[in-house]
Structure 1
């Protein structure tokens, strides 16, 4: 409007320009605090939400530690899921009667599309959640009757998203076993194929790391996580082995490290890349919360069923 008045000659240019500049400056000065107030309001709302959630966690009863439960001292027979039904919400069941046997010393891989319930099974074995019906057993004993501490001490998990804690590289590896010696830490790192890289760091095992200031790539974090698990030497191992976000050299290292950690242990592998589980003792195919096929790789290929389709499709992209 001001520009039009100047152009049409209704206001002299000198007065008009000064007027417009002053108006724009004042309007910005006027609106800036209002903009800041709205952003502060949204930050305050976020902070309040966080505070409420913290308060909810604080108010929760102490975790059910099964004080008089059985203490798990290793695995003699194996781990079983027996006709397990489960849903995170009561009205939406995810697993519809799943039965899986993992015999002592054997490696069982679970494959299936996203959302088929693979990670849910892992959550139930660790007793992060309780089944709606059916049961999860270690040597025939229901996990609900085992002390949580001894259950968790016997189960090692390597997740696809590895976390680094603030501290030294050594602190990170011995997170699950703080009493471990440097020699034990080095032995675990060597088995996990990460020792050589650690030795290239400025202070080796004493190098300071944190989640924000990480000297490790995604794949190397995964190897640190595997070293952690090797050090705690769990009786039962769960691997969530997504290696799709790392380069092929690191993937080969991760695969080698995983093979080393699985060897001789009772293990449960959530498989994403089928070529990594060709040697599993048993492959369980999960779809929409149901076990639809099981057997070793050769048996499943001969069936020409769902697994055969998954495998041939994946190999076409390799």
Structure 2
């Protein structure tokens, strides 16, 4: 309702502004012609001089209103630009992530990842997780099952420290992740999301996104593990095929397999799969499951 009212008001104002300015421009021209004509007929100046002045001033009055009319015709676009700028400034004004100054640099998971009596809510008044404890030993796979809104994705966000817990702790080998070096922590966590994300660029660049220095052999090995290599080789340019918004050759399942290849290449210690097969058909799901089995081997997931 608020959006409808605001849009209606904006459209009315921007719709009125241009004809209003045009009307004022015509009124202004009429006044100049009227008084110029009156001066030419009844003034002290010679008629030829007076007529020349009238013509000059008519042109002046029209030129004067020209830029004003151009601004008024783009008024709604100006308003949108101001709104966009305001939103960008709001984003820049957000506080930065709190990073520990001398975070503990831990490489790899030697024992277990654990949630210890975790309480968390996006709103401090309403908790999503209450006294949740989960322990996942190195190399073990644990599945979280529950209805929509029960907090499965929330746990993924806490393991990456996208949010901090309200109570309890999340630990890697017994060390609270709030004490770990944030960049190093995230470099050891691989995520395959429900919605696959492809960036503009080549297929090779997409797979190597988390490890730009990866060799051709490493990219191909990851693609083979994810069951996408054969499809890529059927394309005319293979791994050099450009991915753009307009030129999107890939099905949802193929995008998802590329996302899995990208995650495999980064070789994460902890692998998180967030409903990665929920958007695909059963045949593609079987392919993705095989790719998952490869990705999970020996990893904590």
TM-score (norm 2): 0.73
Task: State the match for 2:270 in structure 1.
Answer: 236
Distance 2:245 2:98 in 1: 30
Distance 1:141 1:251 in 2: 36
Structure having greater relative contact order (Cα 8 Å, sep ≥ 6): 1
The gaps in structure 2 that reach 5 residues or longer are 1-11, 19-71
Distance 1:218 1:47 in 2: 34
Distance 1:109 1:143 in 2: 21
Task: State the match for 2:15 in structure 1.
Answer: 34
Task: State the match for 1:256 in structure 2.
Answer: 290
Paired residues in the alignment total 236
Alignment of 1:1-318 (within 5 A): 34=15, 46-267=80-301
Instruction: Select the structure of larger CA radius of gyration.
Output: 2
Residues 193-219 of structure 1 deviation map (CA, whole Å, 9 limit, x = unaligned): 000000111200001102443221111
The gaps in structure 1 that reach 5 residues or longer are 1-30, 268-318
Residues 109-165 of structure 1 deviation map (CA, whole Å, 9 limit, x = unaligned): 000000101011110010000000100000011110001101001101110111111
SS in 2 for 1:52: helix
Cα pair distance change 1:211/1:158, threshold 3 Å: farther
Task: State the match for 1:312 in structure 2.
Answer: none
Distance 1:167 1:242 in 2: 23
Cα pair distance change 1:49/1:124, threshold 3 Å: farther
SS in 1 for 2:122: coil
Distance 1:39 1:188 in 2: 54
Distance 2:125 2:177 in 1: 24
What is the aligned-residue RMSD (CA, Å)? 2.2
Note the C-alpha offset of 1:67.
Answer: 2.4
Note the C-alpha offset of 1:179.
Answer: 0.4
Contact between 1:168 and 1:209, CA under 8 Å: does it hold in 2? yes
Note the C-alpha offset of 1:72.
Answer: 1.9
Larger relative strand fraction: 1
Contact between 1:83 and 1:98, CA under 8 Å: does it hold in 2? yes
Contact between 2:114 and 2:136, CA under 8 Å: does it hold in 1? yes
TM-score (norm 1): 0.70
Distance 1:211 1:108 in 2: 36
